[in-house]
Amino acid sequence: MRNTTKRLLLATAVVAVVAATAGCGGSGSGDDQGGNQSTGAAGTKEVVLVTYDAYALPEGAAAAFKEQTGATIKVVAAGDSGAMLSKALLSAGSPEGDVLFGVDNLSAPTALKKDLLAPYSPPSLASVPERFRLRGAAGKRLVPVDAGDVCVNVDAKWFADKGVAPPTSLEDLTLPQYKDLLVIESPVTSSPGLALLAGTVGRYGEDDAFDGFWTRLKANGVRVRPSWDDAYFTDYTVSGGDRPLVLSYATSPPAEVVLSEGARTEPQSTVLVDSCAAQVEYAGVLRGAPHPELARQLVAFMLSPAWQADLPLSNYVLPVVDGVTLPAEFQKWAVRAPSPMSAPTEQVADRRDEWVERWRNLFE
Amino acid sequence: MTGPARLPRLAVWAVAAVVGVVCVPVVAVLLAAVRPDGSWGTDALERVLTSSRTWRLVAVTVGQAVLSCLLTLVVGVPAAFVLYRFRFRGRAALLVAVTVPFVLPTVVVGAAVAAVLGPGGLVDARGTWFAVLAAHLAFNLAVVVRTVGVAFRGVPVSLTSSARVLGLRPSAAFRRAVLPAVAPAVGAASVVVFLYCLTSFGVLLVLGGGRVSTVEVEIWVRATRQFDVSGAAVLSVLQLLAVVGALAVYGRVAASARGARGSGTDPSRRPRGAGERLLVASTALSVLVVAVLPVGALFVRSFQLGTVWSADNWLQLGSVVAGTALSVPPLQAVWYSLVSSSLAAGVAVLLGVAAARGVAHRSGGASDRLLLLPLGVSATTVGLGMLLAVGRPPVDLRASWWVVPLVQAVVALPLVVRVVAPAIRSVPPSLLDAAAVMGRSARARWWEVELPAVRPAVASGAGLALVACLGEFGATAFVVRSDRPTVPVLVARLLGRPGAAGYGQAMALSCVLVVVCAAVLALVDRAGRGSGRSATVL
């Protein structure tokens, strides 16, 4: 009797030890589960890019990067952009990778908290127009990589079939004829949602934005989804949903044609230019990155012609470096709003959380 | 001769260690709430407590818990009566069926309900309270049926017959004699169900779809979506207060429930007449719909990809399917889950058995109550607290993979203590005295008498700890790293994304977890046959 019980406890201890060893072995020998410990054991160099779910690595450019540096890029996606940044901040100093990509102009002030990023400005930053660059401490840590304005997309075919004139301004979205037609993303979890929110504050002023525009929009039956994927692929009529107006990007119409792989010769959607809000995406080197040198090389490489030219067809965004040739679809259908809505940078830093709080009070 | 004064030092240390480990996350959360930016301040408290949305959320959270509780009683009490007072073919099977969802990970229960009330199911009810309530009902039915059923069985047949002799009609006899006798058990079960629903997280994250929310979900959103750690901490404190309150109520109710204990004889008989047979049939039907249908649907839907039948969900578990945005193949997560859960359960058993020995002879003490707390403390509080506690210098463990088993061990420890301590308590003192008289030292008495006597309890504690760790989600979700996810984390992630591929894989992966948990529990059942307390932990 005594032996059996002792054996039981012993067995538990053995299982625990074996599991511990297995765990250690797993992080060292497997196909790089322990990517953040050191350079891969087998001698293959790797740089880890922390980003959001919807991000697609530009494969051609990544191959060029490997050719230049010998390092492959591993993508670690950590949820939508809000989740990505919160997670990065919660692990600040002990990051899950080397480079953080996907911070936008609205989350930039947050990305400066907790000393999340190491200062780095690549020499090629000079080739980026002033309007995309950040000033002050943010400008020393965050490098602009792409610009993709956030705009309401209109299913033109749906409106034509119904014989309803499509909306032509942001304010139109609050009119009764467009009731229950719009789906947007939540500013709490999604960067396009936040871009629109900040844009409306920039246009209407804080109080008028919430007490006016958003209150009217809510009354008009706007649907809110947690992420862009949900809104665009589930609810938008072009993807088989039931809402013909969706908050998406200025580049979504050309993306529609590219994604259809020849099934479409022109987009079904048009862009509601008046609703466009500015969005610029940035990359930065994570403090405590296991491979800081490769991290800096990758950030610098993101401004190279190879990377910039690959952006439209991989992530459906526009390059920030001047003089990059766009694919034909983008030349034809991509929209650059002449003056997209935006809130002043200093206001974003101070008031952004308050805006989100007010928005949540209104909608949740 | 074997009084509490003779407690070995190891047991005392173990109790201290367990209490310490359990307090770490709670203290970390309290500190984060009152020291938002590293200095004392009430900003976070003010910000959260003055927001009308906070109180709306509190009301909704309590409201859904009460509603879930009532719903579970409406289905569970009649089922308990039927299953414990009538004898019929299939009764044992129905009892097992009722228990199945309760021992499954909450994320899997959510996935199972999503298999019926999700895309391609009867109706897509995700994002509504309807789906959440259905999952809470499935999960908690076992609590009501088991607790109240035992009370029903304890009501002596003589009680009802005397009432009838006194001239009461059967329905009145039932109302005036039987129901009062089981009322304390109904009360105790209600508090437990209420507590589970108050702190429910996995179910809400999987089925809430960001549209229905509770305090628990809000803690998660604030901490991991808005990076408002202090705000999340304040909500955690609110949640903690509610849990402590509910536990206090439970303490009183459970005491009175224990007082009412009937005869040991089994009063069940075969159903007589059409009315009773109808009652049995409707119970069987309700159990099938509530508990069996979702889990069955999980398996069926794992062989569907969109609208077509396909084994792809299973065949591709070893690779990352396009569109699912996973960082590792699902099978890899199964491995990570097994490793981390075994490790956590091992630690929980070694420390938990030692601690159980310490508290066994001092039940009702402060340490006993402290050990009870984590069973009620919400998983997100534990997760957030651990993240805060291990994530600052001088000990920054966030990048170490074993933070996950550490957190899971914290969650599982109290379970082990709760199962093993009563068993130690019930070792007959005469046995120990005899050993003492024979000149055995306290240490030898432990190894030769006490431990062998509680072996089944240790085995079932270990099994429960393992199952709890395998399914642990709320706390793990805070500390897990993207490159080493556990199965429940992947299931929740897959279900959170649109598209048929992710959904199908979530179904298949949930099935894997069901099978693993079932295997563990079957082993426990064989090892610990006779202890019979696996489903009545709290």
Mean pLDDT of chain B: 85
The reported pLDDT for the residue numbered B512 is: 95
For residue A37, is pLDDT > 50? no
Residues of chain B found within 8 Å of residue A225, distances taken between Cβ atoms: 210
Nearest to B237 by CA among B52, B35, B390, B16: B35
Alpha-carbon span A313 to A329, nearest angstrom: 10
Asked if pLDDT for residue A163 goes beyond 90, the answer is yes
Q: Tens digits of per-residue pLDDT, B280-332? A: 999 999 999 999 999 999 999 999 988 889 898 999 898 888 767 787 899 99
Query: Does B536 score more than 60 pLDDT?
Result: no
**A3 falls in which pLDDT band (50, 70, 90)?**
low
Report residue B215 as tokens: 């305090």
State residue A236's pLDDT score. Answer: 95
Residues 6 or more apart whose Cβ sits within 8 Å of residue B22:
B370, B371, B373, B374, B410, B413, B414
Distance, in Å, from the CA atom of A134 to the CA atom of B515, rounded to the nearest integer, reads: 53
Q: What pLDDT score does A4 carry? A: 52
Using the predicted structure, report yes or no on whether residue B277 has a pLDDT greater than 50: yes
Provide the pLDDT for residue B328. 86
pLDDT at residue A93 is higher than 90: no
Q: What is the largest CA-CA distance in chain B?
A: 75
Smallest CA-to-CA distance from A352 within A3, A109, A96 is with A109
Q: Tell me the chain A residues in contact with residue B339 when contact means C-beta distances shorter than 8 Å.
A: 19, 22-23, 26
The four Cα atoms B136, B142, B145, B148 give a dihedral, to 10 degrees, of -90
In chain B, what residues touch A18 (CB-CB under 8 Å)? 342
Q: What share of chain A is helix, strand, coil (3-state, %, to 5)?
A: 50, 20, 35
Verify cis geometry, omega within 30 degrees of 0, for the bond prior to B156.
Answer: no
Of B221, B349, B447, the CB nearest to A188: B221
User: Could you count the other beta carbons within 10 Å of the beta carbon of residue A49?
Assistant: 23
Residues of B in contact with A5 (CB under 8 A): 447, 451-452, 455, 458
List B534's β-bridge partners, or say none: none
The H-or-E segment that residue B305 falls in is strand B304-305
| Preferred mutation among A50, A86, A239 to probe B, highest tally of B CBs within 10 A | A86
Span B176-194, average pLDDT: 90
Pick A45-147+280-331's CATH classification: 3.40.50.1360, 3.30.110.70, 3.40.190.10, 3.40.1440.60.
3.40.190.10
Task: For residue B262, count other CB atoms closer than 10 A to its CB.
Answer: 18
Is A19 close to B335, i.e. CB distance below 8 A? Answer: no
CA distance A122 to chain B (A): 28
Instruction: Report the chain B residue with the minimal C-alpha distance to residue A24.
Output: B401
The answer to whether the beta carbons of residues B463 and B534 sit under 8 Å apart is: yes
Question: What is the end-to-end Cα distance of chain A in Å, rounded?
Answer: 61
The closest CB to that of B346, out of A16, A27, A110, belongs to A16
Which pLDDT value is given to residue A7?
Answer: 57
The amino acid present at B90, given as its one-letter code, is G
State the average pLDDT over residues A154-168.
96
Beta strand B308-309 pairing with A182-185: unpaired
Among chain A residues, CA nearest to B387: A90
The residues of chain A that CATH labels 3.40.190.10 are 45-147+280-331, 150-279+335-363
pLDDT at B261: 53
More confident residue, A364 or B343: B343
Tokens of B38: 């590293």
B225 to A188: CB separation less than 8 angstroms, yes or no: yes
Least confident of A70-84, B25-39, B364-378, B408-422: B364-378
- Spatial separation of the C-alpha atoms in residues B155 and B158, rounded to whole Å: 8
pLDDT at site B374 = 64
Mutation to test the B interface, candidates A12, A227, A287, most B Cβ within 10 Å:
A12
> In chain A, what residues touch B481 (CB-CB under 8 Å)?
91, 96
Residues in contact with B183: Cβ distance below 8 Å, sequence separation at least 6, in sequence order: none
Read off the pLDDT band of A6 (50, 70, 90): low
Q: What is the mean pLDDT of residues A278-307?
A: 95
Q: Are strands A99-104 and A117-118 parallel, antiparallel or unpaired?
A: unpaired
Contact B227 A360 (CB under 8 A): no
Beta carbons of A45 and A39 less than 8 angstroms apart:
yes
Angstroms from B492 CA to nearest CA on chain A:
11
Give the pairing of strands B304-305 and A318-319. Answer: unpaired
**Is pLDDT of A128 > 90?**
yes
Stretch among A293-307, B133-147, B165-179 having the lowest mean pLDDT: B165-179
Highest mean pLDDT among A155-169, A320-334, B9-23: A155-169
Give the model's pLDDT for residue B411.
Answer: 87
> Would you state the pLDDT for residue A198?
95
Q: Is CATH 3.40.50.620 what the domain over A150-279+335-363 is classified as, yes or no? A: no
Q: Which of B52, B402, B481 sits opposite A96 (nearest CB)?
A: B481
Cβ atoms within 10 A of the Cβ of B229, count?
23
| Contact by Cβ (8 Å): A98, B241 | no
C-alpha A244/C-alpha A234 separation (Å) is 12
pLDDT (0 to 100) of residue B5? 46
Residues of A in contact with B227 (CB under 8 A): 85-86, 89-90, 110, 113
Average pLDDT over residues A236-262: 91
Closest Cβ opposite residue A86 in set B227, B399, B447: B227
Please compute the mean of the pLDDT values over residues A51-69 and round it to a whole number.
Answer: 91
pLDDT band at B393 (very low <50, low <70, confident <90, very high): low
Chain A residue closest in CA terms to B55: A361
Would the pLDDT of B46 be above 60? yes
Nearest-Cα distance to chain B for A195, in Å, is 15
Q: Which is higher by pLDDT, A43 or B289? A: B289
Model confidence band, residue B6 (pLDDT cutoffs 50, 70, 90): low
| pTM, entire model | 0.84
**pLDDT surpasses 50 at B513:** yes
pLDDT score recorded for residue A210: 96
The answer to whether B350 contacts A9, with C-beta atoms less than 8 Å apart, is yes
Find the mean pLDDT for residues B119-147. Answer: 92
| pLDDT above 90: residue B372 | no
Give the model's pLDDT for residue B126: 86
DSSP codes, B57-76 = HHHHHHHHHHHHHHHHHHHH
Residue of B180, B201, B202, B184 whose CA lies nearest to B192: B184
DSSP tag of A167: P
- The answer on pLDDT for B368 being more than 80 is no
pLDDT at A179: 96
DSSP helix/strand/coil, B242: helix
| pLDDT > 70? residue B534 | no
Whether pLDDT at A257 is above 70: yes
From chain A, pick out residues whose CB is under 8 angstroms from the CB of B499.
233
* Beta carbons of A93 and B226 less than 8 Å apart: no
What is the chain A residue with the closest CA to B457? A5
Tokens 């009145």, located at residue: B172
pLDDT at site B535: 40
Q: Chains A and B: how many Cβ contacts under 8 Å?
A: 141
Domains of chain B: residue spans and CATH: 23-301 (1.10.3720.10), 311-376+393-538 (1.10.3720.10)
Q: What percent of chain A has pLDDT over 90?
A: 59
Length of chain B: 538
Comparing CB atoms, the residue among A8, A20, A96 nearest residue B343 is A20
